[in-house]
Amino acid sequence: MKRLENKIAVITGGADGIGKATSLMFASEGATVVIWDLNEQKGNEVVSQILAEGGKAEFLNVNTAQFQQVENATNIVIGKYTRIDILINNAGITRDATLKKMTPQQWQEVIDVNLTGVFNCTKCIGQYMVEKGYGRIVNASSVVALYGNFGQANYAATKAGLIGITKTLAKELGRKGITVNAVAPGFIATEMVKKMPAEVLKSMEEKVPVGRLGYPEEIASAYLFLVSEEAAYINGAVLSVDGGITI
């Protein structure tokens, strides 16, 4: 028996990086994966890979920062599958700059996607989880929420905000059969990160006690654990997957 057999999973930002790894892993564990992303080409490529491997998946072009788009997408998924069992709030962006140089637009764009987007998705999907008396929600925080990071006031604020909303919703929804948890990744070797200069990557690796960057699949594994039945009694937790960088 696969761990997510017959589960319906919405994964935001599921077309690339950690989201892609999560989509592939969840599909391999039996879930029907619904990718919400703005990158239609990459999203459909992931869907094609899943289908080729015998899994079940589809793609919807959704800007999670727009409530109406999220509501419409939710209705489409519910109309087709009648329920959503799992929500991975993985979508996120960066617009890095120091406070002195950060524009109001850079601030607001990150707030809209990383924080408001999670509210939009959780509000729209959560109501159907409540109706069914079952749900697993995982929010993508970050180690920068725990110790800050130079030039990322907007990003750190949103990721810290996600810890707050995770703990609050865990209290609100726990008695309704829904668990809400967060994962706080450290430095992860996504395609974007691997394109950084070698000296920068080396510097990042040296900061991590285990001496390397993490892999997207290692974050996906944390998501998988938290939505599995093995984690049914874990609620309101923040799981740091960072090689020990926050020690």
pLDDT (tens digit, 9 = 90+) per residue, 126-151?
A: 999 999 999 999 999 999 999 998 99
pLDDT range class, residue 67, cuts 50, 70, 90: very high
The bridge status of strand 8-12 relative to strand 178-185 is unpaired
Q: Which pLDDT score is estimated for 201?
A: 79
The bridge status of strand 86-89 relative to strand 56-61 is unpaired
Q: Which pLDDT score is estimated for 204?
A: 82
Q: Which pLDDT score is estimated for 194?
A: 77
Q: Which pLDDT score is estimated for 199?
A: 84
DSSP secondary structure string, 121-182? HHHHHHHHHHHHT-EEEEEE--THHHH--TTBHHHHHHHHHHHHHHHHHHHHHGGGTEEEEE
Q: Which pLDDT score is estimated for 214?
A: 96
Taking 90 as the threshold, does the pLDDT of residue 182 lie above it? yes
pLDDT cut 70: percent of the chain above it: 99
Output the CA–CA distances (angstroms, integers) from residue 65 to 38, 120, 134, 140, 222, in the order listed.
11, 7, 25, 15, 25
| Average pLDDT value over all residues in the chain | 96
Name the least confident of 87-91, 123-127, 205-209.
Answer: 205-209
Closest to 213 in 3D by CA, of 17, 39, 7, 10: 17
150 vs 122: CA distance, rounded Å = 30
Which is the catalytic residue, given 81, 128, 134, 155?
155
Q: Which pLDDT score is estimated for 116?
A: 98
Mean pLDDT value of segment 140-163: 95
Mean pLDDT value of segment 182-188: 95
201-223 pLDDT, tens digit each: 788 899 999 999 999 999 999 99
Give the residue extent of every domain in the chain. Answer: 8-240
223 is catalytic: no
Ramachandran assignment for 233, one of left (phi > 0), alpha (psi -120 to 50 degrees), beta (any other):
alpha
Q: Which pLDDT score is estimated for 197?
A: 79
Tell me how far the alpha carbon of residue 34 is from its chain's centroid.
13
Q: Which pLDDT score is estimated for 1?
A: 84
Mean pLDDT value of segment 225-233: 98
Ramachandran assignment for 158, one of left (phi > 0), alpha (psi -120 to 50 degrees), beta (any other):
alpha
- Superfamily (CATH) of domain 8-240: NAD(P)-binding Rossmann-like Domain (3.40.50.720)
Mean pLDDT value of segment 73-97: 97
2-61 pLDDT, tens digit each: 999 999 999 999 999 999 999 999 999 999 999 999 999 999 999 999 999 999 999 999
Taking 90 as the threshold, does the pLDDT of residue 107 lie above it? yes
